[in-house]
Structure 1
Amino acid sequence: MTSILKVINPGLYSCVQDLGRFGQNHLGLTTGGCHDAYAFKIANALVGNPINSPALELTLGGFRAEVLAPITIALTGLNVGFTINNKNQALWQSIQVARGDVIEIATPHIGLRHTLAISGGVKAQSHFTSVSTVMREGLGCKIEANTLIKQQAPRFSKQKRLPANLIPNFCQNTPLNMVLALQHHEFSAADLNRFLSSSYTVTGQSDRMGYRIQGAALESPTGARFSEGINLGAIQVPADGQPIVLLNDRQTIGGYPKLGSVTALDCANLLQKRAGDEVAFNAISIEKAQNLNHLAQVKLQRALDALN
C-alpha cells in the first residue's frame, strides 16, 4: 500500500473519521464519526471519492505534511490559512499536489475543526464496520508526527470547486436549534425560560464526547430514574445545574435528566466552538427540525450534483 503523506506536525489533534459507527450501541460502542457531515461529504466529492471514504479530521490547525506521491486533496471548513509550498490555497476546491509538496494548515482565528480529504481515501483499520476514531473506546488512533498516511485505493480526480452559494455560512452567533425532550416538564418554567434566554460559555472541559457549558445554573430534577440511550445532541443537566451537550463520541447510556436535544445540523456548528466562545439556544418543534433537515439534504444533493 503506497504511502502518500508524511505528517511533519499533526497539530493539536488529528485523526481519521468516516460518517460513523452505526448499529453498535448494544455493544456499548458509540457512533463517533465526522464532526460535520456536509463538510465531510463535500470534501470527498471534491476529490472524486465515495462520500463515506475515510478522511482526516484536524483540530485547531497547526497541521503540516509532506506529499509522498501525486494525489488530489480538498480542505473544507471555516476559512483558515492553507498553503502548499507557502502559496495560499482556497478551501472547498480540489487541488492536485505532487511528490515533495508541503501542505500546511495554520491555526484558525475562528472555528476549530477541518476535514482534509485525499483522493482514494485514507487507509485505516475498520473496527465494527467503521474506521472512526474514538479514543475513549480505544478505536483508531491519534495521528502523531512522522505518521505515514496511506491511500485506501488509487484514484485521481479532475479539478473541482464548490459553487460559492453552497458553501456554509458558519455564522458564529446564531443560536443553536434544539428540540425539547420528554423530560423538559420536570424542569420549572422559570428554569426553561432562563436557559433559552441566557448565553452560556464553552468551557475547557469540552471535546468530541460532549461540551460542558457555563452560565445560568438550572435546578436539576431529583429522584431516581432509569438510565436510557443517549442521542446525539442530548442536553443533560447534572446536579451542579451546568448543562452538558453530548456529541459524537458520547456514552451510549446515561441517567441525568435531559432538557432537550440540539439538532444534528447544529451539533456540527457547536463542534466548531472553542473554549471561551458563547452559545445560546432556540427551542423549535420536531416538525421544524425535520423540515430543516430535509432542506439540508436538498442543499447537499444540489452540491453533489454540481460536483459530478
Structure 2
Amino acid sequence: MATRTTTQHVTTATAQSGTQKPTHPTPGALVVERTGPLALVQDAGRFGCRHLGVTQGGALDWISLGWANWLLGNAPDAAGIEIAIGGLALKAERTLRLAIAGADLGATRDGEPLAANGSFTLERGQVLAFDQPRAGLRAYLALPGGLEAAPFMGSLSTVAREQLGGLDGRGGALRVGDRLMAASPAPQGDEQARELPSSLPPMPADDTVLELVTGAQIAHFDGASLFAAFNRPWQVDSRADRMGVRLTGPVLRCQSGGMVSEGIPLGAVQVPPDGQPIILLNDRQTIGGYPRLGALSPIACARLGQCAPGTTIRLSPVTPHQARTRYLRQLALWR
C-alpha cells in the first residue's frame, strides 16, 4: 500500500567488528499543518508516455519552478511544491533552507513577511504559510536537492485526473499531516547567497502578450477570424484549471469539416464549435479533434499559468525558430 510519508535515506550508526560507522546528516522535513485549494507535487512532467494515453503533467509555470530550484542549486526540473492560490501552511521538523519563486501569495515565516522570490532558512518549529494571491496565481517551493519521493514513470508530477504521482502515488493533493522530505541535507556551495535577476518580468497583468506558433489548420479559419485572433484582446475565463484555459472574446470560425482526433501538444489552442478558444495545458488529454490555431510557446505557457480569471491577454504569432530560441535562452540562465 502506498504511504504518504516519503522515504528517508539515513545511514545509522552500527557496530561491526568493534567499529562505529558515522551517522550522515538527515535531510529536513516539513509537515503540512493546513492545506489550500490545490498544493501539488510537481516537476518537469512525464515524457515518452503519451502513446500510452498518459499525459505530461508537471509545473504549469515551469520557469518559476526552475528559478526556485536555481536558488538552492538544484536541477531546474527537480520536484517541488506548486501552491495554487495559497492557503498552505508547513511546519519545519528541523532547520531547513528553502526557496520560493513565482506568484506573490503573501508568504510568511512565523507571521513575518517573506519576499515572494528568494531563499530563506526555516528553523525547527517555525511555520511557513501562504495567504492569498497578490500577484500571479502559483508559487513554487523548492527544498534542498528537490523533494524525496518515489517517482512513477520517471516523474513525481501529480495528475489528479489520471490518479498518478504525488506523495501517495495516486495523484492526490497535499493533505494535513503529510511530510515533505528534502532529498539533500542542505544546498551546496554558495547557493544560500543567490538572488534572482532584477530583469525578470513581473507576474502577468492585463494586456499580457502570449506568443503562439501557428499550426497546419490555421488556413481553415476565415480572414476575419484570423484578424480578430491576433488583433483583438482575449479574456481569461473562470473555467480554467491545469487541463486548460478558456478564452472569451471574438467568435472564431473554422471552415473545415469534421476532423480525425490527433495528438495535442502543450499549449495547443483548440477552437470548438462555439468559436471560443481553449488553450490546453499540462494535464490535457492526449488527443483531440477540434481545429487548432497553433500552440503557445513554452514561455507563453508558463506565463498563462500565472494569469488569473479576468486577465486580458493578446496572442502574437511567432515562428518555431523564435519560440525555440527563447526557450533555449531561458534554460541557459540556469547553467
TM-score with structure 1 setting the length: 0.91
Listed as ranges, the matches of 1:184-263 within 5 Å are 184-263=218-297
- Aligned position for 2:304: 270
Matched pairs, number: 301
**Conserved? CA contact 1:16–1:124, under 8 Å:** no
- What whole-Å deviation, never above 9, does each CA across 1:62-114 have from its counterpart, x for those lacking one? 22111112211000013342211112222332212111001012211231011
Q: Deviations over 1:7-66 (max 9, x none)?
A: 122211001011110100111111111122222122112223233321000000122111
- Quote the offset at 1:119 in angstroms: 1.3
Equivalent-residue separation in structure 2 for 1:79 and 1:257 (angstroms): 36
Question: After the TM superposition, which residues 98-177 of structure 1 pair with which residues of structure 2 at under 5 Å, given as runs?
Answer: 98-140=123-165, 141-157=172-188, 159-172=192-205, 173-177=207-211
Q: Give the AA of the match of 2:156.
A: V
Q: State the shift of 1:147 in Å.
A: 2.0
| Farther-moved stretch of structure 1 (176-185 vs 37-46) | 37-46
Q: Residue 97 of structure 2 aligns with which residue?
A: 72
Amino acid of the structure 2 residue aligned with 1:37: W
Distance in 2 between residues matched to 1:290 and 1:156, nearest whole Å: 31
Q: Is the contact made by 1:230 and 1:254 (CA closer than 8 Å) also made in structure 2?
A: yes
Give the C-alpha shift of residue 3 in structure 1: 6.8
- Structure 1 residue 179 corresponds to structure 2 residue 219: no
Q: Distance in 1 between matches of 2:144 and 2:164?
A: 24
Could you say which residue in structure 2 is the equivalent of 1:28? 53
The answer on whether the counterparts of 1:221 and 1:257 sit within 8 Å (CA) in structure 2 is: no
Larger deviation, residues 280-289 vs 12-21: 280-289
Larger Cα-atom Rg = 2
**2: CA distance between counterparts of 1:77 and 1:203?**
21
| Structure 1 residue matching 2:128: 3-state secondary structure | strand
Distance 1:38 1:273 in 2: 14
Aligned equivalent of 1:282: 316
Could you say which residue in structure 2 is the equivalent of 1:38? 63
Cα displacement string for residues 202-231 of structure 1 (whole angstroms, at most 9, x for unaligned residues): 222211111011111112334232211100
Residue segments in structure 1 that go unaligned for 5+ positions in a row: none
Greater alpha carbon shift after TM alignment, 163-172 vs 198-207: 163-172
C-alpha displacement of 1:163 = 4.1
How much has 1:5 moved relative to structure 2?
1.2
DSSP 3-state at the match of 1:295: helix
- 2:79 maps to amino acid: P
> Which is helix-richer, 1 or 2?
1
Match for residue 79 of structure 2 among 47, 50, 54? 54
Give distance in 2, aligned partners of 1:246 and 1:130.
20
Task: Give % identity.
Answer: 36
SS at match of 2:321: helix
3-state SS of paired residue (1:43)? helix
Counterpart for residue 82 of structure 1: 107
Aligned to 1:136, what secondary structure does the other structure show? coil
1:139-169 deviation per Cα after TM superposition (whole angstroms, max 9, x unaligned): 1221122222223343345523324335333
Residue 280 of structure 1 aligns to a residue whose secondary structure is strand
Distance 1:88 1:286 in 2: 42
5+ long unaligned stretches in structure 2: 1-7, 9-26, 166-171
Q: Retained in 2: the 8 A contact 1:93–1:160?
A: no
The alignment's C-alpha RMSD in Å is 1.8
